[in-house]
């Protein structure tokens, strides 16, 4: 999610910081990962995560209350439906071991993608990501985007008139 970090929204301002909110099915709790967490433990982006958590839980409560509709989130690894036995009031914690970006970088989006990859692959999330690790992961993402056959072009495609005909002058 993209967040203002508890700052008031002013005209023409946009959220600037990416964080990730994750629902842990096994622990039945929400975990908020923020790569710019303050050293004293205070997380100005946690309030935005709480807002998103409430929105999702309210949506699921509403959907779950209607017996004619099943919740739209399903687990791939199990026939159980996500939130099936959930009371829609799970606790939320700020992940204290979230990898932190370096102060001179704007790697929050890269770190969010990194964490999503770790969560999707059921891998542990390391407590830190070096500048070199962030750079390598950024290179990996660019490689993935550029080499996704149905959504990217090969050199031959790029050089063909068919692709160039769709490009603006």
79 in any annotated domain: yes
β partners of residue 30: 23, 92
pLDDT in single tens digits along all 169 residues of the chain: 888 877 777 777 677 889 999 988 788 889 999 998 776 667 888 888 998 898 888 877 776 565 445 445 544 555 445 555 555 678 999 888 888 888 788 889 999 999 999 999 999 998 888 888 889 999 999 888 888 877 777 777 767 756 556 666 6
- For residue 86, tell me if it sits in a domain: yes
Reading the block at residue 71, the tokens are 């919740």
* Count of domains observed in the chain: 1
pLDDT at 6: 72
Nearest to 93 by CA among 40, 25, 21: 21
Within-domain flag for 124: no
Q: Is residue 123 in a domain?
A: no
Cβ-defined contacts of 34-39 (< 8 Å, 24+)? 34/94, 34/95, 34/98, 35/98, 35/99, 35/100, 35/101, 35/107, 35/108, 35/111, 35/112, 36/100, 36/101, 36/108, 37/94, 37/96, 37/98, 37/100
> Does 58 map to a domain?
yes
Domain that holds residue 19: 2-100
């Amino acid at each position: 999610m993209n967040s203002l970090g508890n700052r008031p929204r002013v005209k023409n301002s946009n959220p600037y910081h990416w964080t990730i909110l994750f629902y842990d099915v096994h622990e039945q709790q929400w975990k908020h990962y923020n790569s710019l967490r303050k050293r004293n433990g205070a997380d100005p982006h946690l309030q935005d995560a709480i807002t998103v958590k409430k929105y999702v839980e309210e949506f699921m409560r509403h959907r779950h209350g209607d017996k004619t509709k099943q919740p739209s989130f399903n687990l791939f690894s199990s026939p159980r439906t996500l939130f099936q036995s959930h009371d829609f009031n799970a606790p939320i914690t700020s992940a204290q071991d979230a990898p932190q970006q370096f102060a001179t970088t704007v790697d929050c989006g890269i770190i969010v993608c990194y964490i999503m990859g770790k969560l999707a692959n059921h891998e542990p999330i390391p407590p830190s990501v070096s500048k070199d690790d962030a750079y390598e992961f950024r290179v990996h993402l660019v490689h993935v985007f550029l080499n996704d056959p149905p959504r990217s072009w090969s050199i031959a495609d790029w050089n063909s008139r068919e692709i160039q005909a769709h490009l603006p002058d």
